[in-house]
């Protein structure tokens, strides 16, 4: 493993602690960590799911299949693990308010279902959905309308779990949530499938359309809300590739989620591209330059409860019990910073999104090497995972595994506007080389040293929430938990053959 980070600081750390990693074979051509090569994979990821990458969908299956084939082509031993989860499949959505049909809408998954017939009722405006506002609005038997502020600090998508609970308990028959996202895009909300389906069918709308809906609700106009969906057990897969190192029983695991509500170019695309780039880079090195065995994990289930990583841990406990580190390629790694002006114009900057944050275990041996490795990736704050850790990597942290993770948001986060134009090729390469340097640093440490220095982080992780779900507030039900299921692999393979046949017939896959 060679360190090719652009920063002298990272090279200095590696030269002191892992001098053998600075030597290596000549770089492969073309460079798999170049911005151009990485950006091509971002674009391909979007093409596989131009509307969404929902877990269990055909686009999700295409993505898993493509990434597994790319890992195999690079020379990795690949595999796939099936698991079942509690799915929520939307069939039809519709929203009419005061005789006006709205099309900029999205479903809040697992919120509830209307069946094939819409809910017709008077609207009631309930502000932000606080207990006092809901009580004053008298939403019982009505369709409630609320505003959901966009939480810019940390770049989180709207959190409406408490408002949802208040309105559901008050007996509303439906909910319209006006999301304060970019332009008129509704902002999708990560949910937790492990809580099952609730009793309040909810549609998300954009802020511009939402102004007319709020005015109609204040005037006690009527609306029609349709969220026709089916719920039940579904199949999906995690995929992986293993690249053997000199120590076959010492692992560094690199993972990234693929599930997303939207095209997700800036949210998920960079993690997907960097994972493939790193796999190709390390596979190009001789075995003598790979001290540890690398596992590259392609994780599904992210948008519906962070299901991928805990399922992988349960399926491959030996990897994680012998892991020096879990490296998580989270959201928006190479998202460009974008700002909406008062007139609605969007200004794109060359810098990375300001919400990007490192989450590195409170480990005195890990921290300096990671900070040095990421010096060339631009200014980026670091948050102690024991204080705040909003991502899927929390499962590894809770299990006492040292983690290196990065995550953030973007201007079009969780919206249909998240297209490749919001991704920076220079940022992609900077990020990939930073993760490369961090992995090289970990691999160059003596076996067991990082785990031995992880006592403080392990104690903090043991006290943290073992289920770092995306929304919180929902009560998880064991009946809806994901379960490893080998039969789901056969289901996925059959669906994959079906997709290939539809391509061969000239019909585009749905």
Q: Are 293 and 243 in contact (CB under 8 A)?
A: yes
Residue 235 vs residues 68, 268, 300, 433: alpha-carbon distances, Å: 17, 21, 11, 35
Q: Give the pLDDT band (50/70/90) at residue 503.
A: low
- From its phi and psi, is residue 176 left (phi > 0), alpha (psi between -120 and 50) or beta? beta
Among the residue ranges 47-56, 249-258, 374-383, 458-467, the one predicted with the least confidence is: 458-467
- Name the least confident of 26-30, 230-234, 242-246: 26-30
Bridge partner residues of 124 (DSSP)? 144
In the three-class reduction of DSSP (H, G, I as helix; E, B as strand; rest coil), residue 167 is classed as helix
Q: What would the pLDDT profile of 270-306 be if each residue is shown by its tens digit?
A: 999 999 999 999 999 999 999 999 999 999 999 999 9
- Percentage above 90 pLDDT, the chain: 81
- What pLDDT score does 334 carry? 97
Q: How far apart are CA 361 and CA 316, in angstroms?
A: 22
Residue 191 predicted with pLDDT over 60: yes
Q: What is the mean pLDDT of residues 411-417?
A: 95
> For 4-26, how does the pLDDT look when each residue is reduced to its tens digit (9 = 90+)?
333 333 333 333 333 333 333 33
CATH numeric code, 8-21+29-84+237-471+478-484: 3.40.630.10
Q: Quick one: pLDDT at residue 152? A: 61
Instruction: Determine the pLDDT at residue 5.
Output: 34
d(CA 203, CA 188): 10
Residues 213-226, mean pLDDT to the nearest whole number = 98
Q: Decide if pLDDT at 509 tops 70.
A: no
Residue 235, pLDDT score? 95
Q: What does the buried/exposed string (b/e) look like for 440-452 if buried means 16 or more CB atoms within 10 Å of the residue's CB?
A: bbbbbbeeeebbe
* Pairing of the two strands 77-97 and 100-102: antiparallel
| Maximum alpha-carbon separation in the chain | 73
Asked if the bond preceding 30 is cis, omega within 30° of 0, the reply is yes
Q: Which of 155-169, 398-412, 492-506 has the lowest mean pLDDT?
A: 492-506
The C-alpha atoms of residue 482 and residue 471 are separated, in whole angstroms, by: 17
Distance of CA 382 to the CA centre of its chain: 19
Map out the domains of the chain as residue ranges: 8-21+29-84+237-471+478-484, 87-233
Q: How distant is the alpha carbon of residue 424 from its chain centre?
A: 18
- Give me the CATH topology for the region 87-233: Glucose Oxidase; domain 1 (3.50.30)
pLDDT > 70: what percent of the chain? 88
Q: What is the mean pLDDT of residues 195-220?
A: 97
pLDDT digits (tens, 9 = 90+) for 74-128: 999 999 999 999 999 999 999 999 999 999 999 999 999 999 999 999 999 999 9
Q: How far is CA 308 from CA 296, 321, 360, in A?
A: 13, 17, 20
Q: What is the pLDDT averaged over residues 416-430?
A: 97
pLDDT for residue 494: 77
> Of 195, 414, 213, 206, which is closest to residue 305 (Cα–Cα)?
195
Element containing residue 456 per DSSP (H, E): helix 455-463
The predicted-structure confidence for 320-371, as pLDDT tens digits, reads as follows 999 999 999 999 999 999 998 888 889 999 999 999 999 999 999 999 999 9
pLDDT higher than 90, residue 493: no
Containing 213, the helix (H) or strand (E) segment is helix 207-218
Q: Two tokens at 220?
A: 């006690």
pLDDT per residue over 133-190, tens digit each? 999 999 999 999 999 988 765 445 566 889 999 999 999 999 999 999 899 999 999 9
Residue 316 in this model has a pLDDT that exceeds 60: yes
Nearest CA to 177 out of 143, 151, 223 is that of: 143
- Average model confidence (pLDDT) across the chain: 90
Average pLDDT, integer, range 187-210: 95
| Single pTM value for the model | 0.91
pLDDT tier, 50 (very low <50, low <70, confident <90, very high otherwise): very high
State how far the Cα of 495 lies from the Cα of 510, in Å rounded to an integer.
12
Tell me what pLDDT residue 29 has. 58
Residue 404: predicted pLDDT: 98
Mean pLDDT within 475-486: 89
The per-residue pLDDT for 405 is 98
pLDDT at 12: 32
């Amino acid at each position: 493993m060679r360190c090719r980070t652009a920063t002298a600081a990272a090279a200095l750390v590696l030269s002191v602690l892992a001098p053998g990693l600075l030597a290596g074979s000549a770089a492969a051509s073309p460079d798999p960590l170049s911005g151009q090569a990485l950006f091509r994979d971002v674009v391909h990821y979007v093409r596989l799911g131009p509307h969404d990458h929902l877990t269990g969908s055909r686009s999700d299956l295409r993505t898993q299949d493509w990434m597994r084939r790319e890992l195999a082509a690079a020379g990795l031993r690949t595999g796939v693990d099936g698991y079942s989860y509690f799915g929520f499949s939307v069939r039809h959505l519709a929203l009419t308010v005061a005789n006006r049909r709205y099309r900029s809408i999205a479903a809040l998954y697992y919120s509830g279902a209307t069946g094939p017939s819409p809910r017709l009722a008077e609207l009631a405006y309930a502000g932000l959905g606080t207990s006092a506002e809901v009580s004053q609005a008298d939403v019982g038997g009505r369709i409630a309308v609320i505003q959901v502020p966009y939480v810019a600090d940390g770049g989180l998508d709207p959190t409406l779990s408490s408002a949802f609970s208040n309105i559901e308990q008050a007996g509303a028959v439906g909910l319209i949530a006006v999301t304060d996202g970019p332009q008129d895009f509704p902002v999708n909300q990560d949910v937790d499938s492990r809580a099952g389906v609730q009793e309040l069918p909810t549609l998300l709308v954009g802020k511009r359309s939402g102004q007319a809906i709020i005015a109609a609700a204040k005037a006690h106009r009527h609306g029609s809300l349709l969220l026709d969906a089916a719920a039940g057990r579904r199949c999906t897969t995690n995929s992986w590739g293993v690249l053997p190192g000199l120590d076959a029983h010492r692992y560094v695991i690199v993972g990234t989620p693929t599930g997303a509500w939207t095209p997700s170019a800036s949210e998920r695309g960079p993690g997907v591209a960097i994972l493939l780039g790193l796999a190709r880079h390390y596979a190009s090195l001789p075995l003598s330059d790979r001290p540890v065995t690398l596992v590259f994990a392609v994780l599904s289930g992210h948008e519906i409860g962070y299901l991928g990583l805990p399922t992988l841990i349960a399926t491959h406990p030996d990897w994680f019990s012998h892991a020096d580190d879990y490296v998580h390629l989270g959201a928006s790694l190479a998202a460009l910073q974008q700002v909406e002006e008062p007139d609605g114009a969007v200004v794109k900057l060359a810098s990375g999104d300001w919400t990007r944050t490192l989450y590195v275990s409170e480990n005195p041996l890990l921290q300096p090497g990671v900070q040095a490795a990421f010096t060339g990736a631009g200014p980026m704050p670091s948050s102690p995972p024991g204080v705040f850790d909003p991502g899927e990597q929390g499962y590894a942290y809770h299990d006492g595994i040292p983690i290196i993770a990065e995550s953030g948001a973007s201007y079009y986060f969780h919206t249909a506007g998240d297209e490749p134009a919001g991704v920076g090729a220079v940022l992609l390469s900077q990020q990939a080389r930073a993760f490369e340097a961090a992995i090289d640093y970990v691999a160059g440490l003596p076996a067991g040293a990082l785990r031995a220095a992880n006592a403080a982080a392990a104690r903090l992780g043991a006290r943290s929430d073992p289920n770092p779900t995306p929304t919180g507030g929902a009560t998880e039900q064991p009946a809806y938990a994901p379960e490893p299921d080998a039969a789901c692999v056969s289901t996925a393979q059959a669906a994959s053959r079906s997709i290939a046949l539809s391509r061969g017939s000239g019909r585009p896959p749905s």
